Structure 1
Amino acid sequence: MKLQLFAAAAACALVAAAPAFAEDAAPNTVDELVVTGRAGLEAQRKVEASYAVTTISEEKLRMQAPVSVAEVLKNVPGFWVEASGGEAGANIRARGIPIEGYAAIGLNEDGIPVQHDGGLGFLNTDQSFRLDETIQRVEVVRGGPSSIFGSYAPGGVVNFITRKGSDHLEGLVKLQAGDYGYGRGDFWVGGPVAGFRLGLGGFYRQDNGVRDPGYTADQGGQIRFSIGKDFENGSIDFNVKHIDDNIIFFLGIPLTFDSKGDTAAVPGFDPNYGTFAGPETSHFTFRSNRGPYNFDLTRGTDVKLDQYSFQFKYDLAGWQMQDGLRYRTSDISRSGLFPNTPVQAAARITQVLAGLPAALGATSAQFRFVNAPGEVFNVAAQNGTGLVMDASMREQDIKLDEWINDLRLLRTFEVGSQSHDVALGFYVAKVDESFFQTGASALVDVQDQARLLDLVALNASGAVVANFTENGISRYGLQFNNAEGSSETYAFYGSDAWSLTDKLRVDLGVRWEKIDLSGRNERSATINLGQSATLADDNVLSGTGVFDALDRSFDGWGATIGVNYQFQPNIGVFGRYTKGFRLPSLGDFITNPTNTAPRTQKINLAEAGLKIQEERFDLYATAFYTAFDSQSFSETVFNPTTGAFTSRTEFTDTRSYGVELEGTIRPTDWFDVSFTGTAQDPRFGDFKFSTNVGGTLVPSDFSHNMQVRAPKVSGRITPGVNLFDGKLRAELDLQYFSKRFSDAANTLIIPAYHLINAQVRFNLNDQISIYGYGTNLTNEIGLTEGNPRAGQFVSGETGARYYLARPELGRAFRVAVQYRF
């Protein structure tokens, strides 16, 4: 059905050819205007902004062909981006703000949030968004005024600006193929119909995944329709988008060290292309006290989403009213195989035998393959390691409905020789969310596409006297959550771009916001189901039928002041201070029932920058400082002895300062080099706490340690050539990331690494272009994160011979053909 829908829509694009698109303007001929991170009537160029902003053009998006939001954001200095998990579910860090996912970064479409809170538990905004040819360009604001004009965006805001129909018919069709079974088609067509601007576009994609699980990894797509009209005093635009897509979520893999101490592969597991997920772990039937539950790993992140957007502008008596309304309804499920620390099979056998009563007469134990019961696991040398692992088969089902409305009144006032570009805004968001989580532990071997194992105890005659697993499941009911809730958010904000002279401008902004939360969360307890002859259902975590009510309110305020001085139209400097905040959200409660005391997080941000835009080079240099108060630092650790997760949370503050660079050098018309870079020092502040160990308080002091997974230095250099009168464009993309730490104690090092990518475009004529893309050309085993389930305070894998980490995806190639009309 997905494929037929896309094919029918794409056919609409193949209408009679109209005049071709104009050639994309070269970077040095574009005077870029920015609309993100501000509210005002006066147009503002990027070089005039009093905050750090990165713009990503249509041509740059096509040259890179990023498959995910995270890959797009690798273009942004000051951001640490983990894009190794696949097309969604990435982690983003902005300027040393240690919040995971998109909890500190807002994702917008045409200035309206894609999701009110991008950091809802298990639902990052990038799961609700797909990049395709309906997106024309991207603007990214780092820090600065982002928290004044948006909720849950103290670290920045990413604004995807959609393509709209114009006064003439135009369109494109783009077909892609890749070496991992990748096939994708994009299309867009737009133009005038009966006085309206119409647009229709979308994509459909299917592939096996760079890390092949043995089944279809990604399948689905998106379709978008837009209609708009300009009239004498304003405009109106309506946009509807439907996503029906399944994408795999890649997690950590086993690794070891070579004789030099460098990252190395584990026998039986390809670090560039391997994944634990496979046919044997793809389907289970979980036992529970509420009946059987069918678990389907092949769904991955399964998104069904409808989004309706309405934007209105109207000029009246010197004021302009702007209103952006968005409604989305969605059902999203995420199924994943979450690996835990591998252990030696012999050690696991010793552990289980020690816990058995002597009356059973158990003298030995065996691991047997579930799908080949006669095959016994070789505890000394199976797969070259003799390793086994408890994999967490986890699923989260989330239904999220949202109403968002952002109303602004804008006006420019002239006061003598000075001017004020003023905006007053009122933002409201109504969110309804339900959340259900279940899971089980599955015993597997350690190899690509892992195989299921059963563990049995034997007596002296070789008879089975105890079954620890059932068809590979060692524990049903590993996790349980069942909750629902609603939130209502109200925010008032205002801004003033105060031009004192033609060169000097002061930008002011303030925001007050309140959120009211209500809902309920079911309590859980462990029970013995008694449905199986094995131990797998003896300790099942399940709901009790008793619900705890949620009824809380929070409010906060923020403000910003920025100063911009424009020495010349193409050279300027700026400085800015922002008092930002992040309120608790619905997800803080209903996905985490133990979180009874969330805090309003406060962020102080300062930045100063130099901006130069010349014919032969652009340079944007920004120094920043970030102070973050009341950061909750949490970990959920898997205990292989008990087969359970334990959780705890501590609080600390953080400090980070650094420098960001981005720009392009164009010494000739046929050669250019673009670059981005970040040097920072992200550290904890006072981070002391004590842990109860056997009744004794053991103190820990992580004060001033490096923040988890944040590199001190990262950078990207992209030299490019234009040959044959611009018909051929070729780029080499070099990325570098310095070492990081996997835990707050700074005991487990994540090594530095680099990536080399390449992309090329050749224009056959004005309508047809051919693209080629190669990623991670050297098959670098670049680790983006360690194993969070081994402990983020002090990693339990420090010094271990075998450990888990998540590397960048292996080398892959794609080609594309694009037809524009």
Structure 2
Amino acid sequence: MNTLFSKSLLACAISVAFSTQLVVAQEATKKQATSDNTEVIIVSGTPGGLGMRKIDASFAVTNLDASDIEKLAPKSTADLFKAIPGVWVESSGGESGANVFVRGFPGGGDAPFLTIAMQGSPIYPAPTLSFLENSQIFRVDETIEMVEGLRGGPNPVVSNGQPGLTTNFRLKRGGESTEAKAKYTTSDYGLNRVDLVMSGELADDLYYMVGGYVKSSPGIRDAGFNSEQGNQLTLNLTKIFDQGEVNLYTRQTDDHGTWYLPTPLNVAGIDAGYTQIGTKNRQATIYYGPDDTAQSFDFGDGRGWDGQVSGGSLKLNLPNDWHLVDRFNITKGQANTFGLVPNGAATTVATVADNASSATGQVTGDVYSGSTPIQQIGRWVVLKDIESFTNDLAVSKQWGDIDTAFGIYSATTKAKDWWSIGNHAYYVLNPGGELLDGIACNDSAAGCGWSYDINSVGDASTRAFYATSSWYATDDITVDLGLRHENHKVSYSVDEGLDGQIDKALDYDENKVSWTGGVNYALDNNSGVFVRLNRGYKMPYFDDFRDNWGAYTGGNNLIKEVTQSEFGYKFMSDEFQIFATGFANRVKGDTFVRRPGDPAEILTNEAYGIELDSNYDHESGLSVNLNATVQKTEITASATNQGNEAQRQPGWQLRVTPSYEFEVGNDMYASVYATLSAVDDRFGDNENTVVLEGYEKLDVGMTFEPIESLRLQLSVDNLTDTMGITEGDPRNPDAPNGRYIMPRSIKFSVSYMLF
């Protein structure tokens, strides 16, 4: 076994053992009474989503309910995941286009080890394709009841076999009484948003929930026009009958916003509030294909999702104590990207102008002097039509002290892509900075830099058979095992250059077997310890083949093998909830491509660390949440970067959220809360030559309920206006470009319970 991996296992064991002894010692004198907290039910990581008590789980899972989400006030779906230990999120790209890293797993961007599920079904089987990660096609609103974040654990065996992080969003359900809520939100950056949700009973044992939102704003980084617009409608129906229930849901979304990108770090006037997009450059003409076909696009459309996610489930109690659960999901729509992407470092007009002294704006006719800061900006167009269908059927039965479950997971995944990326030209560096005349390459259809155009079609199918078993060895010890056999097929063809000729085509067919095993030991009804090992795989999809064609045409080397170990301690009482998890993992066969056409780096990455997720709730109204991760990463196999740290992975991160609820007067209530986030330095590249400095960020908020049905909320994000950096320039690490976290923003909302 590799030395680092061996040390990882030992370090995790020692760390968790220490945490266990410490907490047990602290709680030894306390009365161990059963509390409502021990009855929290989770469904993630269980066959067919049958559910189990969180305190009994032999894996690490974080659950956030609707009140937690309201307090966190996330700016995007990915922003919400910051509340999950072991997860590093770069949500500075806007509503879409986030980068999500899990437990030190390697990656150059997007979210290759994240699956987003809705009602227990993956919304899209491929966690990441180029210019698409799962959070782009999911929006958080008032229809969400809870989200669960499962790291590692039984993930490699159940559902789509994601070895990293699975976040499962559970919708609100109707009950016998009718409830309705209306909410209006505005902000200091011109946001107008209305949320509505209503639920109740349609007929005996037939319940509904319907809700959604409409919104519009110029964006936190002001584009000068309504660059962020969207709407969403969700319907959830549940029918209860004697032997089970049927659930059907659909969510229709049309939401897009500016794709925020790295900006120059060495140009005066460019700060965290800067965005290149504006009224003078949102429309642009690009040239593509062998005949330099010209076409105009509106880059103000940014990045987003226009489509539907629908599905349902059937739960049946069968004769002889058998249980059946079937869950399915259909996703279809467009996930397009239009972006103004920097190419290299900023420069000045004099260095590139034809006359070496000035250039003229194409829109205004203004003459810009030689000292004017400018930069090559790529007009990137990615049109992406996606479609998927998943079905997960599981049957289960208890035989004495043994629970068994058997399942079949099947999925089809489709993607049709049309790209024209590159299309570089020099623009003035200011918000809405215009294109310049008087620079030779700006007037050429070939542009000023590299371009890459494709038209591709891909189909993938996955079929997996899995089995899990839990043995209740004693009243306190549970042993569980899981096994999965997966067949993965891909059919893919691509026309590079948009000349009508197929340059690459393949039919791929591979099988893999994943496994997991865990032991849970209940110290008492409120606490326990667990240990778990697993091995899983991330199977390749369309872009993996295109980017790594050459020596990897066969595809075997494109399968990422993930081996993990976990040790955990957990304690839940009326006041305290403490979950400490040590982890160690190895990801073998990861590939990193800086930009299309570049050679791929094939590497093995190892990491170990500790996650802490704790809550303190006092009857006085005071509560504190602590979320922390400490980890060590190392590239243990690479042609050029062996021994370095994994790029963009902080060594530690911390989030502390204190809150206090109190009574203002007769039947009037208020709360105040804050979140302090701190993150360590990171390297912006695998070469470890670019350092991204750590930073601290403070968010504050308050709520006020003057009457029972009325609620006012004020939230301030990044109160001190910290200018932290989440990434450098992923295509040119030496260029002094970076992407700032969002600047200070203020939101105010008014919500009213109608019934």
- Per the normalisation by structure 1, the TM-score is 0.83
Select 1:60's aligned residue among 56, 68, 73.
68
For 2:428, the equivalent position in structure 1 comes to 445
Which amino acid counterpart does residue 136 of structure 1 have in structure 2?
Answer: E
Q: Is the 8 A contact 1:120 1:587 kept in 2?
A: yes
For 2:636, the equivalent position in structure 1 comes to 685
Matched, 1:578 2:544: no
For 2:273, the equivalent position in structure 1 comes to 273
For 1:498, the equivalent position in structure 2 comes to 471
Matched, 1:768 2:707: no
* Structure 1 pair 41–378 and aligned structure 2 pair: CA distance change class (3 A): closer
1:494-540 alpha-carbon deviations (Å, 9 max, x no partner): 1112111111001111111111111321132xxxxxxxxxxxxxxxx
Q: Is the 8 A contact 2:116 2:134 kept in 1?
A: yes
For 2:322, the equivalent position in structure 1 comes to 319
Give the distance between the partners of 2:584 and 2:613, measured in 1 at CA: 18
Q: Could you tell me how far 1:41 is from its partner in structure 2?
A: 8.6
Give the distance between the partners of 1:119 and 1:112, measured in 2 at CA: 16
Give the distance between the partners of 2:50 and 2:460, measured in 1 at CA: 35
Q: Could you tell me how far 1:654 is from its partner in structure 2?
A: 0.7
Q: Is the 8 A contact 1:485 1:590 kept in 2?
A: no
For 2:17, the equivalent position in structure 1 comes to none
For residues 311-710 of structure 1, the aligned pairs below 5 Å read 311-317=313-319, 318-345=321-348, 348-349=351-352, 364=356, 366-373=358-365, 375-379=366-370, 381-382=371-372, 387-414=373-400, 419-439=401-421, 440-456=423-439, 467-470=440-443, 474-475=447-448, 478-524=451-497, 542-589=498-545, 596=553, 598=555, 599-636=558-595, 647-667=598-618, 669-688=620-639, 700=640, 702-710=641-649
Q: Could you tell me how far 1:565 is from its partner in structure 2?
A: 0.3
1:624-665 alpha-carbon deviations (Å, 9 max, x no partner): 0011101112212xxxxxxxx752211110110001111112
For 1:137, the equivalent position in structure 2 comes to 146
SS state of the match for residue 309, structure 2? strand
Q: Could you tell me how far 1:174 is from its partner in structure 2?
A: 1.1
For residues 220-239 of structure 1, the aligned pairs below 5 Å read 220-239=230-249
Q: Is the 8 A contact 1:676 1:715 kept in 2?
A: yes
Q: Could you tell me how far 1:243 is from its partner in structure 2?
A: 0.7
Give the distance between the partners of 2:722 and 2:714, measured in 1 at CA: 20
1:374-395 alpha-carbon deviations (Å, 9 max, x no partner): x43322x32xxxx321111101
Which amino acid counterpart does residue 609 of structure 1 have in structure 2?
Answer: G
Select 2:190's aligned residue among 168, 176, 181.
181
SS state of the match for residue 259, structure 2? coil
Give the distance between the partners of 1:410 and 1:679, measured in 2 at CA: 38
Give the distance between the partners of 1:152 and 1:413, measured in 2 at CA: 26
For 2:217, the equivalent position in structure 1 comes to 207
Q: Could you tell me how far 1:470 is from its partner in structure 2?
A: 2.7
Q: Is the 8 A contact 1:365 1:455 kept in 2?
A: no
* Structure 1 pair 421–477 and aligned structure 2 pair: CA distance change class (3 A): same
Matched, 1:36 2:37: no
Give the distance between the partners of 2:597 and 2:543, measured in 1 at CA: 20
Q: Could you tell me how far 1:342 is from its partner in structure 2?
A: 2.4
Which amino acid counterpart does residue 253 of structure 1 have in structure 2?
Answer: T
SS state of the match for residue 685, structure 2? coil
SS state of the match for residue 745, structure 1? coil
Q: Which runs of 5+ in 1 are unaligned?
A: 1-26, 257-265, 354-362, 457-466, 525-541, 637-644, 689-699, 798-802
Q: Is the 8 A contact 1:443 1:473 kept in 2?
A: no
For 2:737, the equivalent position in structure 1 comes to 804
Give the distance between the partners of 1:665 and 1:311, measured in 2 at CA: 36
Q: Is the 8 A contact 1:300 1:336 kept in 2?
A: yes
Matched, 1:755 2:706: no
SS state of the match for residue 438, structure 1? strand
Fraction of identical pairs, as percent = 27
Give the distance between the partners of 2:191 and 2:403, measured in 1 at CA: 49
Which amino acid counterpart does residue 240 of structure 2 have in structure 1?
Answer: D
Give the distance between the partners of 1:610 and 1:392, measured in 2 at CA: 50
SS state of the match for residue 70, structure 1? helix
* Structure 1 pair 292–590 and aligned structure 2 pair: CA distance change class (3 A): same
Give the distance between the partners of 1:254 and 1:744, measured in 2 at CA: 21
1:75-127 alpha-carbon deviations (Å, 9 max, x no partner): 01100111111112111111111133222111100100011112122111111
For 2:8, the equivalent position in structure 1 comes to none
Which amino acid counterpart does residue 279 of structure 2 have in structure 1?
Answer: P
Q: Is the 8 A contact 2:48 2:325 kept in 1?
A: no
Q: Could you tell me how far 1:616 is from its partner in structure 2?
A: 2.3
Q: Which moved more, 1:150-159 or 1:109-118?
A: 150-159
Which amino acid counterpart does residue 241 of structure 2 have in structure 1?
Answer: F
Which amino acid counterpart does residue 295 of structure 1 have in structure 2?
Answer: F
Give the distance between the partners of 2:350 and 2:466, measured in 1 at CA: 60
Give the distance between the partners of 1:710 and 1:562, measured in 2 at CA: 28
* Structure 1 pair 650–230 and aligned structure 2 pair: CA distance change class (3 A): same
Give the distance between the partners of 1:472 and 1:273, measured in 2 at CA: 32
Q: Could you tell me how far 1:554 is from its partner in structure 2?
A: 1.8
Q: Is the 8 A contact 1:579 1:602 kept in 2?
A: yes
SS state of the match for residue 63, structure 1? helix
Say which one has the larger Rg.
1
Give the distance between the partners of 1:476 and 1:141, measured in 2 at CA: 43
* Structure 1 pair 371–617 and aligned structure 2 pair: CA distance change class (3 A): same
Give the distance between the partners of 1:552 and 1:118, measured in 2 at CA: 19
SS state of the match for residue 60, structure 1? helix
Give the distance between the partners of 1:40 and 1:607, measured in 2 at CA: 23
Q: Is the 8 A contact 2:284 2:379 kept in 1?
A: no
* Structure 1 pair 611–247 and aligned structure 2 pair: CA distance change class (3 A): same
Q: Could you tell me how far 1:562 is from its partner in structure 2?
A: 0.6
Aligned length: 708
* Structure 1 pair 370–410 and aligned structure 2 pair: CA distance change class (3 A): same
* Structure 1 pair 396–591 and aligned structure 2 pair: CA distance change class (3 A): farther
Give the distance between the partners of 2:225 and 2:282, measured in 1 at CA: 9
1:570-603 alpha-carbon deviations (Å, 9 max, x no partner): 0100000011111112343468767735411101
Q: Is the 8 A contact 1:36 1:141 kept in 2?
A: yes
Q: Is the 8 A contact 1:286 1:476 kept in 2?
A: no
Q: Could you tell me how far 1:750 is from its partner in structure 2?
A: 0.3
Which amino acid counterpart does residue 330 of structure 1 have in structure 2?
Answer: G
- Per the normalisation by structure 2, the TM-score is 0.90
1:217-259 alpha-carbon deviations (Å, 9 max, x no partner): 2101110112221101111111111111222211111113xxx
Q: Is the 8 A contact 2:38 2:54 kept in 1?
A: no
Which amino acid counterpart does residue 369 of structure 2 have in structure 1?
Answer: N
Give the distance between the partners of 2:68 and 2:175, measured in 1 at CA: 22
1:191-212 alpha-carbon deviations (Å, 9 max, x no partner): 1112311121111111111111
SS state of the match for residue 223, structure 1? strand
SS state of the match for residue 307, structure 2? strand
Q: Could you tell me how far 1:668 is from its partner in structure 2?
A: 5.0
Q: Is the 8 A contact 1:40 1:411 kept in 2?
A: no
Q: Which runs of 5+ in 2 are unaligned?
A: 1-34
For 1:818, the equivalent position in structure 2 comes to 751
Q: Which moved more, 1:678-687 or 1:339-348?
A: 339-348
Give the distance between the partners of 2:522 and 2:156, measured in 1 at CA: 25
Give the distance between the partners of 1:35 and 1:182, measured in 2 at CA: 35
* Structure 1 pair 41–199 and aligned structure 2 pair: CA distance change class (3 A): closer
Give the distance between the partners of 2:86 and 2:96, measured in 1 at CA: 20
Q: Is the 8 A contact 2:287 2:446 kept in 1?
A: no
